[in-house]
Structure 1
């Protein structure tokens, strides 16, 4: 085991332990970021590494922005922990079979799978890694060499995961983390649809579920809640679900989705806005709730992925309309689109 792998092992023992304190996790993420930046020759301050890739189905972020994602403590911690728990579940079910993890959108580091190489041997787990950005892809190869974990790699592809054809269906877990809050802009939806349609039902998708909800929010109470050190302050109410991304939804919509890919319009959702709601709330927001695996969940404001997305502010005590109509659309600028209706 080289020195970098030893440091990774120490960091992973904290990230994969749910009993670790916030302070321990904070320090571990800091050390993880420093270690990862030593692994590659990329200069993240160079303008060329800030350039995103735009396709017919959304945006893939450049290496600089992918590098910043590591700093999102709960995002990194809970995704690593959730993936670890998923691997344990698969290994219990098939202890004599090597667990195969497909990771789409790795960025320059494959941040989420590196800790697994400190707790499982290459005879227990293997990875197929997909990355669209060429600079991130070359940095990824440097990262794998830096930690001396090439033996874990089954496949390494510089491809667009939204239209990638899998050479094998022998995949136990699919990890897709190519998203922003509200599932806007990036490739999360088309990647998940493309990969899951090719795989058996028992394949685990991570995140297991992403749900976009419509909330009414009291902005003053929300601000007070953020700065309060006492009991939680109630500041929102859920009005309904706008969109869901999980295996069941994918299998239900898969055939029609690919008839028009990369463009697709999901069914509209109609949510009633109660007429008296403006007495206690003054804004409409989209909540992004991410169930990574089992009990590993990212709640409101825990991560940059789950910040509330304000879509409307009520004027005075007047409702804009009785109903909000929403629709998730795929294409060059994927996301939710809204209109009001009486």
Structure 2
């Protein structure tokens, strides 16, 4: 019944010539279509925390909040286009093969893959939708029926992306279970668990997540964003408004297991930690007036990327752990795993000369 509407919508989303305003309107149309079918309304503030699932490796947000991710427009566009390109790439890498896809943390709308199914024949794909919330899986099943996609080989699986083991190797894994600065949600643990389940030439989405550290004037940047609608990170650095302090963490499926092997248990907190780096701040004028920010940059797939301020998950995140900025101190950066993943930065007072 709704198959034609879905086909028209995905054609617009995949059209690289479309302006952002047009794409936003189309995503709103898609969101409304999903809501009309499932009776689930996207809501970023729906009973905040009340229906989230608190897991061993991070928080799985509730279905209403997960549905709201479709309203993060540039994120949705980059990921949908990236997944589409990845499927085409996988078909080239694995010719004459049904492409086996796992979509972990799919949410109630399965936004990053559901609209793409109509672009491929049923015998080209096998799709497994994985989510911790049964309500989300029931919603996905309702959408599949409404769009007449029952002929596709689909598996609906309730489970934790940080523990789930697929029965056979996968060609593509889509796992976007993150917040900015890799805080709260289990992106690191999910990547570590799922990435080894790919074929050797398989594709993991997102391909790369990089968290950088910098000194910046955050309020000035937000004012610039409100005034112009965008922020040029390179221009900020060239003008001296930002000072890069280098990389904190690089999350890639090819190296995540080596990263996890370096985790050590903190005996005081009983939390596993990744010791990332020790750094000093540059000797610059008015250092105390800067903000210490974490910047999240995402390579979804190929040329599809998300930079600073382009998405909710790439907004700068202030390091509130550090109250004193001084060129006389050294600082240590850790990433804490466990039920609430987060970066933790501490000043080394013994380093004072």
TM above 0.5, yes or no, is yes
Q: Whole-Å Cα distance in 1 between the matches of residues 161 and 335 of structure 2?
A: 20
Does the CA contact (< 8 Å) of 1:83 and 1:293 recur in 2? yes
Contact 1:215 1:285 in 2 (8 A): yes
Match of 1:307 in 2: 315
C-alpha distance in 2 between matches for 1:263 and 1:145? 44
- Conserved? CA contact 2:249–2:276, under 8 Å: no
Partner of 2:24 in structure 1?
26
Say which of 339, 348, 351 aligns to 1:332.
339
C-alpha spacing 1:258/1:9, structure 2 compared with 1 (3 Å):
farther
Q: Hey, what's the Cα distance between the residues in 1 that align with 2:264 and 2:143? A: 35
Bigger shift: 142-151 or 158-167?
Answer: 142-151
Instruction: Identify unmatched segments of 5+ residues in structure 2.
Output: none
Which of 260, 266, 274 pairs up with 1:266?
274
Cα distance in 1 for residues equivalent to 2:153 and 2:248: 38
The corresponding residue for 1:57 is: 57
3-state DSSP of counterpart to 1:32: helix
Aligned residues: 337
- Contact (CA 8 Å) 1:57, 1:263: kept in 2 or not? no
Compute the RMSD of aligned alpha carbons: 2.8
Residue 245 (structure 1) aligned to one of 246, 251, 257: 251
Moved more, 248-257 or 155-164: 248-257
Deviations 1:179-207 (Å, cap 9, x if unpaired)?
11011111111111111123333221100
Matches within 5 A, 1:1-342: 2=1, 4-42=2-40, 51-169=51-169, 171-219=170-218, 221-229=220-228, 232=232, 234=236, 235-253=241-259, 264-276=272-284, 278=286, 282-312=290-320, 319=326, 321-341=328-348, 342=351
Question: What are structure 1's unaligned runs of at least 5 residues?
Answer: none
Q: Would you say the 8 A contact 2:181–2:317 is kept in 1?
A: yes
Distance of 1:333 and 1:277 partners within structure 2: 36
TM-score with structure 1 setting the length: 0.90
Alignment CA distance shift 1:271-1:257 (3 Å): closer
Deviation of 1:324 after TM superposition, in Å, equals 2.5
- Quote the Cα distance in structure 2 between the aligned partners of 1:121 and 1:200: 22
Answer yes or no: is the 8 Å Cα contact 1:49–1:64 preserved in 2: no
Q: 1:320 to 1:231 in 2, by over 3 A?
A: closer
Comparing 34-43 and 239-248, the one that deviates more: 34-43
Give the superposition deviation at 1:79: 0.4
